[in-house]
Each structure stands twice: as structure tokens, then as C-alpha cells.
């Protein structure tokens, strides 16, 4: 599947890739949008995205308990 995605992107086609696996997103995407509670919470280029920054936006306004 990754080969197909890479080929489509190389042809200039847009690919919408949905995943909760952050390493997968960071390895495959040129641009990452995050959502929480059905709302867009962040937009990142590959260069500026980190697992921490993505998680911060994905859990925005959520209470985290341990």
C-alpha cells in the first residue's frame, strides 16, 4: 500500500491518509491535519510535526487522567 501511495503522490495526486499511528503519519505525509471531537485542531508540515506536537493537538481540550 505504501508503494501505491508514494506513486500517486509522485504523480501529483492528493492522497488522504487517515491513521492514529503517529510514526506512520510522520513517515508518509507531507502535511498532517489533526482533529479532536470532530474539529480541526492543527495543521503541520512534515518538517514541523513531531509526535508530541501532534498528540498535543489531538488531545486538545481533553482531560488526561492517569
pLDDT in tens, 14-47: 999 999 899 999 999 999 999 988 899 999 999 9
pLDDT at 37: 86
pLDDT at 66 over 80: no
Structural domain boundaries enclosing 50: 2-58
Residue 36's pLDDT is 87
- Going 35 to 40 to 46 to 52, the CA torsion angle's sign is negative
Residue 66 domain-assigned (yes or no): no
Asked if residue 64 is part of any domain, the answer here is no
Residue 14 lies inside a defined structural domain of this protein = yes
The total number of structural domains in the chain stands at: 1
Query: Is the residue at 63 inside a domain?
Result: no
Q: Specify the pLDDT at position 38.
A: 87
Decide: residue 30, CB within 10 A, 0-12 exposed, 13-18 middle, 19+ buried: exposed
Structural domain contains residue 9? yes
Assigned domain for 65 exists: no
Amino acid at each position: 500500500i505504501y508503494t501505491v501511495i508514494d506513486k500517486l503522490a509522485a504523480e501529483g495526486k492528493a492522497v488522504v491518509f487517515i491513521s492514529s499511528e503517529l510514526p506512520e503519519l510522520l513517515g508518509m505525509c507531507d502535511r498532517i491535519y489533526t482533529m479532536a471531537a470532530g474539529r480541526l485542531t492543527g495543521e503541520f508540515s512534515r518538517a514541523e510535526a513531531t509526535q508530541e506536537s501532534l498528540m498535543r493537538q489531538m488531545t486538545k481540550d481533553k482531560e488526561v487522567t492517569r
